[in-house]
Structure 1
Amino acid sequence: MGFLFLYGAVSFKALLATVLTPMAPLPNQMGPQVPAIPTPDPKALMSGGFALPNVHRATITDRNGQPLALSLPVVQVYANPMEIISAEEAATKIHRVLPDTDLQKLTLRLKQKKQFVYLARNISPTQELAINNLGIPGIYFEQGERRHYPLGRTAAQIMGSVDIDDHGVAGIEKYFDKRLNSDTTPLRLSLDTRVQAAVRDELQAAKDHFRAIGGSAILMDVRSGEILAMVSLPDFDANDFGHAPSDARFNRAVTGMYEPGSTFKLQTAAMALELGYAHIWDRFSTVPIHIGRFTISDLKTDHFAPWLSLPAVMAYSSNPAAAHIALDAGAKRQQDWLKGMGFFSRVPVELPEAGRPIVPSRQNWGHTTVMTVGFGHGVAESPLAIVRGTAATGNGGVLVTPTLVAQSTPSDDQGEPIPQGQRVMSERNSELIRKILRLVVTKGIGKRAESQGYFVGGKTGTAEKIGANGRYLKHVNITAFTGLFPMNHPRYALYVMLDEPHGTAETHGWTTAGWIAAPLFSHIVTRTAPMLGLFPPDPTRAAQIEASLAMPMNPSVPRGARPLGPGNDPGALPPHPHHPPPSQTPAL
């Protein structure tokens, strides 16, 4: 009777609990194990940001609020094998929910004599719920998050990645690791994903067409230093950082060091004008210079006179003439100039991978080094250093600091942003440089860089690569073009480079920058300028702008000035058909 009473009471209680008056589930009963599906915060979206609840690492966006990196809530599955009744049965059930797992490995882990083993990481909330419903004792869940890069290859080397513990290991993720883990406010970069994608498309097309092994392109605001696009090819999907080859992870824009070639003649000309030891009307010899068993000469000399004026030296890119300009400055002034322009140190940018340039020591900076550096050989610089120096010569003479973080730049009375940085040139000499760079495109070897309506200017640069034996490799080149647009009121600096391109029928087999890099520069300007709010002016206004940028190839000598060079000695050399004597050239 006692047992009958007990069993009757238990049965009655069970009937009440399950049929007559069943209890509702306790609130948040499964909260610790089954989280809610995350949704974006509407307020964050309306303000141009992007944030997800229940994540601790901040989102990274471009300047327009487009997410570049964000963290998604995920779950880790772990087990206590000591509580597992049947390892084989449990492993089989879990494998059905997670088919990507290895059934044999799951079984072995569940048979271990341990109290903690991970079974799977980064599963979705839906998968977590399915495993939980299996009712396997000894299976537990741990909340976590996974970094995701929704645009894949876009700015992959810039973004970098995080490790399994959500700490940055490369790129922006590493540089701002502390900030991203301590402040959930989205980090807004200076990049424009539209411009970034367009630049990458054009660079990839040129790389494929000329069968280059790599390439790089940088587009920077010359007033704020904001980098709107930075591309390095080959690249990779940022979501697969751990499996990407080292060549794809290598950021050619900041880590790669290359001889700048003739793009460095821009610095030689700017130095000559700013320090006052040369003027635009001075002439410099183009006769080959012999130093021991080496000869400094020009690749093509059929259109050269025995001497060239300073603008013509840039327009035709003469190596001997640039060497003479550098010699007039001397080692000390050349070193001081390059150091002041930031070419002797790492470019300050928010990327841990930014490398240091390769420059000779001051003790080894002799006459030969002065000459070779004058036309861009004997030193190795990053593309970002070159584009920074280009911006400084054309933005009015201010050396800005490149940045990947969106800035708020002070403006003048007309609302125009004021360049922020150290003044390295006078505005007058910066204006002369702009006219010279425009001349390179209108009448010099950079004609293929022209982009109608945008008044581009710039400088070609072709440098032979150095082989394993330390000697230059003939016809294995780095081809580059650095420039500004629009030249009447510079807003942006652009640098493009292809590594080891091959000549084609349309380039007549040439692998020089005028044939390869200059057209790439033009394509990028034409495609991105409208995205940046720049549009060609009407024909009347365009003619006025072109006239304001005009510079004669051979400027006449002002009255009372004593010019440098053999071309200014009356009767010393006969006139050249392409270069009339000074008396026949208009004044600047």
Structure 2
Amino acid sequence: MSDAPPPHTTPNNPWGPRPRQGSGGLQGETVRVTSPDLRQRAALEKSRTRLVAVSAVFLILFFAVAARLSFATVIDPMKPAPRVVQQFTPEPPAAATAPPPGRASIIDANGQILAVSLPVASLYADPRQMIDTNAVAVELKKILPDVDEGDIARRLASAKAFVYIARRVTPAQEIAINNLGVPGLSFQLSSERRYPLGDTAAQVLGGVDIDANGIAGVEKYFNTRLNTDTTPLRLSIDVRVQAIVRDEVANAVKTFDAVGGCGIVEDANSGQILGMVSIPDYDANDLAQATDAERFNRCATGTYEPGSVFKLQTASMSLDDNVIHMWDYFNTTHPLPIGRFHITDFEPQHVWMQLGDIMKLSSNIGASRISLLVGKDRQRAWLQKLGLMSREPIQLPEAAMPQVQPASTWGKATLMTVSFGNGIAETPLHIANTAVAIVNGGTLYKPTLLAQNIGDPPIQGTTVMQTSTSDIMRKIMRYIVTSGTGEFGDVPGYFVGAKTGTAQKVSEHGGYKKHTNYSSFVAAFPIYAPRYVVYVAIDSGHATAETHGYTTGGWMAGPAVSHIIGRIGPMLNVMPRFDNVAEINQQLDFPHPYPAPPGAVVYGPNNPGEPDDPNAMDKPAHPTKRGGIARVAQDTKWTTPASTVKNLRHDAMYRVPAPASADATH
């Protein structure tokens, strides 16, 4: 069979013309399918089938992926694994490491922050990771102006893996260093001890070293507690009182061009220290730059001959042991010889005096004569009982021991000079704390810098004298203010009781410095019911026109005490009293002269008279609680040159020779 097209065909009608309608033939053209067309059609059909199949597969995959994506992002979001995040997260800038456990803060009695540890970043480097260490040093110098560029370059040139660059970096500097993008620079977070109030209570607080360990003051005493217990350490210091005391003491030091000064305010019924100031002082934030004189705590570390404030001890011990009575008289008509020297008075009266006037006029001669009746053993026992021969148990590592002669050399000269505060050296804290016992009824407290918390049991003290002795001493101290050397310490409405003290400064080469005094003033207020004791001392002050050339305790320290009491009284809720003044004055008054009760034996110029042998006066004049025997003697014939009576000073100007033979007899 031939595949050639039939005749009469055309391209559009390859099989010839279609039969016409109406003719009896077929309607339409006859279609002829050849083999190529069939193959082409089969290929098209196969392609269509494949396309549909592929499309279906892709459609299924699309819906599967879409469903999975919806499930993973909407229905149940999935977080990438940490290792994946790590791979795609850029390395953060050098951050400070975690800080060490914090050191507890120190606060005052009212919660004011005195010391606090703040986080601070330290910059260190690993030079091994750096390419150009010199360039790094140049860039760091631009950000840290306090560092030495050459020193930093030398450090970075080393092969060490850890090199400190700067220990204190501010947040702004930290950001700037991170922006450098230098590998090998990192930060370590540590803490820095800061003292927000600067010089307030600087010597009390002390300070810490670079590793935050206490090296002085309260910081050192409570170092373990501050590093292990984050509870703030609450002190008895009241920053309001502290600021006032500092203001007044610093003003007095400046006014009198003094070497220094100190001030203490102590609670008379607990021994808590509300204020402790030593001038000169320093900014506690810059301990390393403070001089030795600025770091020196004159209140607790300095020991000084106290001068006539020590007569409070002489009067208290002699009254408490019934060695003397208020009605007894003592010979102050002339200087008292001791070896080749003489004990003199600042304002000699040349009369026989009772104890009240001896204290009012601060007579060294009178105090010496009383001490001879008290005797060495009683005197030492009293000083021991009052804590004047041992270190004060306060929370300061620097608290000093008094300078006291041993019993083996405690002869008549020492006995007499100690009675008016020479020949013995005490800290101001000793003087203030014993004054507390003298005015509060006879209870000696351990001075403390710790505040009492609510619920704490009351602070317990030790009874060291009779209440009656304390009552008399309060009257004497008020008498000193109203009629004696303590007039400049008075404050209207506060009924201040006080005692002045002036001691010549000991020379570095032996003997005493001329015209150089340690002037002090100790007071209690209100003296009829004491709440607080205030002590101020001015070291080596110079006289002014206002002091009329005097450098005694009343002139130098008295006004500062008066100002302190007037300022701190109201804030401590001790208001001045202007009602019942006559009644209070009557309560504090005692007769002058003091009358002897009926039948009493009066020690005086006539009966029984003054002992003729001062070296043998080591026995009491009256029966005592210890069974002493009264002594009767005759008047002494003195041969003192008249020249020694002139220009007499408040405190004796002498130094007892070391081999003094007079000391051999007690």
TM-score normalised per structure 1: 0.86
Q: What is the distance in 1 between the residues matched to 2:582 and 2:427? A: 37
Give the match for residue 63 of structure 1: 109
Out of 527, 530, 548, the residue aligned to residue 490 of structure 1 is 530
Out of 165, 190, 203, the residue aligned to residue 119 of structure 1 is 165
Out of 549, 566, 580, the residue aligned to residue 541 of structure 1 is 580
Give the match for residue 599 of structure 2: 560
SS in 1 for 2:553: coil
Give the match for residue 214 of structure 1: 260
SS in 2 for 1:258: coil
Deviation string 1:352-406 (CA, Å, 9 cap, x unpaired) is 0001100011000111111100111000000000001100111110000100110
2:345 aligned with 1:298, yes or no? yes
Q: After TM superposition, give the deviation of residue 128 of structure 1 in Å.
A: 2.1
Q: After TM superposition, give the deviation of residue 432 of structure 1 in Å.
A: 0.6
Q: After TM superposition, give the deviation of residue 530 of structure 1 in Å.
A: 1.2
Instruction: Return closer, same or farther for 1:231/1:132 CA change in 2, 3 Å cut-off.
Output: same
Q: After TM superposition, give the deviation of residue 553 of structure 1 in Å.
A: 3.3
Q: After TM superposition, give the deviation of residue 139 of structure 1 in Å.
A: 1.1
2:405 aligned with 1:360, yes or no? yes
SS in 1 for 2:189: strand
Alignment of 1:109-258 (within 5 A): 109-258=155-304
State whether residues 268 and 322 of structure 1, in contact with CA within 8 Å, keep that contact through their aligned partners in structure 2: yes
| 543-552 or 143-152: bigger deviation | 543-552
- 1:546 corresponds to which letter in structure 2? N
- 2:591 corresponds to which letter in structure 1? P
Give the match for residue 414 of structure 1: none
Moved over 4 A (4+): 22-32, 408-411, 567-570
Instruction: Return closer, same or farther for 1:469/1:99 CA change in 2, 3 Å cut-off.
Output: closer
Q: What is the distance in 1 between the residues matched to 2:459 and 2:398? A: 26
Q: After TM superposition, give the deviation of residue 26 of structure 1 in Å.
A: 9.9
- 1:356 corresponds to which letter in structure 2? M
State whether residues 376 and 410 of structure 2, in contact with CA within 8 Å, keep that contact through their aligned partners in structure 1: yes
Alignment of 1:56-95 (within 5 A): 56-95=102-141
Deviation string 1:291-347 (CA, Å, 9 cap, x unpaired) is 22210010112xx25211011111111001100111101000000000000000000
Alignment of 1:467-546 (within 5 A): 467-538=507-578, 540-546=579-585
Q: What RMSD, in angstroms, separates the aligned Cα atoms of the two structures? A: 2.4
2:375 aligned with 1:375, yes or no? no
Deviation string 1:150-205 (CA, Å, 9 cap, x unpaired) is 10000000111111111000001100000000011100000000110011001111
2:378 aligned with 1:333, yes or no? yes
2:72 aligned with 1:33, yes or no? no
State whether residues 319 and 325 of structure 2, in contact with CA within 8 Å, keep that contact through their aligned partners in structure 1: yes
Give the match for residue 550 of structure 1: 589
Instruction: Return closer, same or farther for 1:568/1:229 CA change in 2, 3 Å cut-off.
Output: farther
Q: What is the distance in 2 between the residues matched to 1:567 and 1:239? A: 66
- 1:316 corresponds to which letter in structure 2? L
- 1:534 corresponds to which letter in structure 2? V
Structure 2 portions without partners, runs of 5+: 1-83, 610-633, 636-666
State whether residues 314 and 371 of structure 2, in contact with CA within 8 Å, keep that contact through their aligned partners in structure 1: yes
State whether residues 479 and 499 of structure 1, in contact with CA within 8 Å, keep that contact through their aligned partners in structure 2: yes
Q: After TM superposition, give the deviation of residue 131 of structure 1 in Å.
A: 1.5
TM-score normalised per structure 2: 0.76
SS in 2 for 1:482: strand
The number of residue pairs the alignment matches comes to 527
State whether residues 55 and 72 of structure 1, in contact with CA within 8 Å, keep that contact through their aligned partners in structure 2: no
State whether residues 55 and 145 of structure 1, in contact with CA within 8 Å, keep that contact through their aligned partners in structure 2: no
Give the match for residue 15 of structure 1: none
2:393 aligned with 1:344, yes or no? no
Q: What is the distance in 1 between the residues matched to 2:415 and 2:342? A: 15
Mark the structure with the bigger radius of gyration.
2
Instruction: Return closer, same or farther for 1:144/1:201 CA change in 2, 3 Å cut-off.
Output: same
Q: What is the distance in 2 between the residues matched to 1:399 and 1:503? A: 36
SS in 2 for 1:164: coil
State whether residues 58 and 71 of structure 1, in contact with CA within 8 Å, keep that contact through their aligned partners in structure 2: yes
Q: What is the distance in 2 between the residues matched to 1:120 and 1:269? A: 61
State whether residues 34 and 128 of structure 1, in contact with CA within 8 Å, keep that contact through their aligned partners in structure 2: no
Give the match for residue 270 of structure 1: 316
- 1:331 corresponds to which letter in structure 2? K
Structure 1 portions without partners, runs of 5+: 1-21, 37-52, 412-416, 574-588
Give the match for residue 405 of structure 1: 450
Instruction: Return closer, same or farther for 1:410/1:104 CA change in 2, 3 Å cut-off.
Output: closer
Q: After TM superposition, give the deviation of residue 458 of structure 1 in Å.
A: 1.0
Q: After TM superposition, give the deviation of residue 126 of structure 1 in Å.
A: 3.5
2:369 aligned with 1:324, yes or no? yes
Q: After TM superposition, give the deviation of residue 127 of structure 1 in Å.
A: 2.4
SS in 1 for 2:109: coil
State whether residues 63 and 191 of structure 1, in contact with CA within 8 Å, keep that contact through their aligned partners in structure 2: yes
Instruction: Return closer, same or farther for 1:89/1:557 CA change in 2, 3 Å cut-off.
Output: same
Q: After TM superposition, give the deviation of residue 114 of structure 1 in Å.
A: 1.8
Q: What is the distance in 2 between the residues matched to 1:273 and 1:114? A: 75
